[in-house]
């Protein structure tokens, strides 16, 4: 188990470099190598997510340099939870992509970028070093810029360029903040920074750096004032990539990084610094309200889902802003349920595009559910889960967010969160109504190939199982992860205790 963090980086990285050599010999080798790497990563993450002892993180020292000196990977229960979320969706999107990418050329390049994006996300989640985190953010971001523009049509290139400009502005903000932090504390290790911050005067400069970091991560997470790139970028990518970008990418690079730095490095809590948390609360509420209302007016299948992603990210950030135990469990559960649910919805959009070749829902006459029963079923069940209907996983995640809000005395956010769950259902059912329901469908359309259906149905099964076993998942998966955030700067003590010996 000690070397798992290294393998989670080394396996996909090795696969990413092997594919450009191998796929020239035989095209399908790219898929085989990528599949083996992703299966290995999934197995390792499942093991870590359930068998890592809470409160005893793995601290892996690169080159055996003790903690404040070298780079250390720190895998605690929060990291292993995020690893699980990432690897599940990455694996099923890959299964979907095997057939979906028939439409495109250059499968070798696709899988190389795909694995590099996984390396970046795994790295962000596991690293215990601020600059290392920036490097992995850049690996993941740059692969995603190329993947958004993978179709190389005019619209996709434009979206990719816009995404790249916005993403780099965010990265530069983060880099500037890292430079300030390094100048002030002379260290880059997260645990060491946390110790220095605890002893530091809370000057305006101290908060300025936090604002820089928060703005950078908010752009990466596409919260409302910073969201303009997402509705262009996510629909332009191939469907498996849209699923990944909306499902896990914005959560890992935006929400996870934000939560880790706020709770564990800065060590702020709602009791000590309510202003920080009120800012998150307002960002979250704005995202929920504005993005939901914008989604109601969308005519493009994938663009509607992209706006929905912004609004659901709003729920997660709202829960972080509430900051008590219930809300944090809700936030983590929503990370899981939204990644499965929105990933599923984007995969169904890929299935429809694969057979019909059309994304504008005003051009559909309805009735596609007769010809594509599995896609239709998956879409409807996924939409119910994203909107938060029982018995799916999405219900419990929203329930816990609302319970947390009520418990902390935030009645208005709780009401808004409950009300906009209904709005969510409203705009998601718009697609059901226009595309899937109805009598007469488009002639000559049949169900998507087996592997694509398999990927979608597997995600549906996971959503239903997550709902059914939620009260088993809560103590085994969500509670230990939420505890990491609740314990705050104790993170630094644990990392030093395990890693400083060398």
Partner 1 sequence: MKGMTPIVKVVARIVGGFIFIYGCYIVLYGHLSPGGGFAGGAIIAACFILSRLAFGTTASQEKSASISSSIFESTGGLLFLLIALLGLFVGGYFFINLFPSFGTPGRLVSAGSIPFSNIAIGIKVAAAILSIFVVLASTKYIFKE
Residues that bind partner 1 (CB under 8 A): 3, 6, 10, 13-14, 16-21, 24, 60-64
- The CB density around residue 475, as the number of other CB atoms within 10 Å, is 9
> How far is the C-alpha of 79 from the C-alpha of 49, rounded, in Å?
8
6/43 with CB nearer partner 1: 6
Buried b (16+ CB within 10 A) or exposed e, 193-217: bbbbbeeeeeeeeeeebbebbbbbb
> 436: Cβ–Cβ under 8 A, 6 or more apart, which residues?
366, 367, 368, 369, 372, 375, 376, 379, 380
Q: Which residues pair with 148 in a beta bridge?
A: none
139/213 with CB nearer partner 1: 139
60/94 with CB nearer partner 1: 60
156/483 with CB nearer partner 1: 156
Do 75 and 128 meet the contact criterion of CB atoms below 8 Å apart? Answer: no
In whole angstroms, the minimum distance from the beta carbon of 61 to partner 1 comes to: 7
60/364 with CB nearer partner 1: 60
In whole angstroms, the minimum distance from the beta carbon of 41 to partner 1 comes to: 15
In whole angstroms, the minimum distance from the beta carbon of 68 to partner 1 comes to: 17
> 22: Cβ–Cβ under 8 A, 6 or more apart, which residues?
29, 30, 33
In whole angstroms, the minimum distance from the beta carbon of 17 to partner 1 comes to: 4
In whole angstroms, the minimum distance from the beta carbon of 184 to partner 1 comes to: 27
DSSP letter for 129, please.
Answer: B
In whole angstroms, the minimum distance from the beta carbon of 42 to partner 1 comes to: 21
DSSP letter for 501, please.
Answer: T
13/328 with CB nearer partner 1: 13
In whole angstroms, the minimum distance from the beta carbon of 107 to partner 1 comes to: 14
Tokens at 167, concatenated? 């993403």
Helix (H, G, I), strand (E, B) or coil at 348: helix
140/401 with CB nearer partner 1: 140
């Amino acid at each position: 188990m000690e070397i798992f963090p290294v393998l989670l980086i080394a396996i996909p990285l090795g696969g990413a470099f092997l594919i450009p050599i191998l796929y020239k010999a035989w095209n399908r080798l790219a898929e085989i190598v990528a599949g083996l790497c992703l299966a290995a990563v999934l197995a390792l993450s499942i093991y870590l997510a359930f068998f890592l002892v809470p409160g005893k993180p793995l601290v892996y020292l690169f080159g055996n340099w003790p903690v404040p000196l070298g780079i250390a990977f720190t895998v605690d229960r929060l990291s292993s939870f995020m690893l699980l979320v990432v690897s599940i969706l990455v694996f099923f999107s890959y299964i979907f992509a095997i057939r979906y990418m028939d439409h495109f050329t250059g499968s070798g390049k696709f899988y190389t970028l795909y694995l590099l994006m996984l390396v970046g996300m795994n790295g962000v989640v596991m690293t215990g070093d601020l600059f290392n985190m920036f490097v992995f953010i850049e690996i993941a971001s740059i692969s995603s810029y190329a993947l958004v523009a993978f179709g190389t049509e005019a619209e996709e290139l434009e979206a990719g360029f816009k995404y790249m400009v916005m993403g780099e502005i965010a990265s530069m903000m983060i880099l500037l903040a890292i430079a300030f932090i390094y100048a002030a504390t002379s260290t880059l290790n997260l645990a060491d920074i946390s110790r220095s911050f605890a002893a530091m005067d809370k000057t305006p400069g101290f908060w300025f750096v936090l604002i820089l970091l928060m703005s950078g991560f908010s752009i990466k997470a596409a919260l409302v004032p910073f969201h303009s790139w997402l509705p262009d970028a996510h629909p332009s990518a191939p469907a498996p990539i849209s699923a990944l970008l909306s499902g896990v990418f914005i959560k890992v690079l935006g929400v996870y990084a934000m939560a880790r730095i706020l709770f564990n490095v800065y060590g702020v809590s709602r009791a000590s610094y309510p202003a920080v948390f009120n800012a998150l609360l307002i960002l979250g509420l704005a995202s929920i309200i504005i993005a939901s209302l914008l989604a109601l007016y969308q005519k493009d299948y994938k663009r509607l889902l992209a706006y929905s992603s912004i609004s659901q990210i709003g729920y997660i950030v709202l829960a972080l802003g509430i900051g008590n135990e219930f809300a944090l469990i809700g936030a983590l559960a929503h990370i899981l349920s939204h990644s499965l649910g929105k990933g599923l919805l984007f995969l169904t959009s890929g299935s429809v595009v694969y057979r019909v070749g059309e994304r504008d829902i005003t051009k559909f006459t309805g009735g596609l559910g007769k010809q594509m029963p599995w896609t239709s079923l998956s879409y409807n069940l996924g939409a119910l889960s994203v909107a938060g209907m029982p018995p799916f996983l999405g219900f419990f995640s929203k329930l816990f967010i609302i319970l947390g809000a009520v418990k902390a005395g935030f009645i208005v956010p709780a009401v808004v969160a409950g009300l906009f769950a209904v709005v969510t259902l409203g705009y998601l059912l718009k697609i059901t109504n226009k595309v899937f329901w109805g009598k007469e469908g488009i002639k000559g359309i049949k169900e998507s190939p087996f592997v694509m259906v398999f990927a979608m149905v597997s995600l549906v099964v996971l959503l239903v199982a997550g709902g059914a076993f939620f009260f088993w998942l809560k103590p085994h998966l969500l509670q230990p992860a939420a505890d990491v955030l609740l314990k705050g700067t104790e993170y630094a003590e644990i990392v030093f205790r395990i890693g400083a010996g060398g």
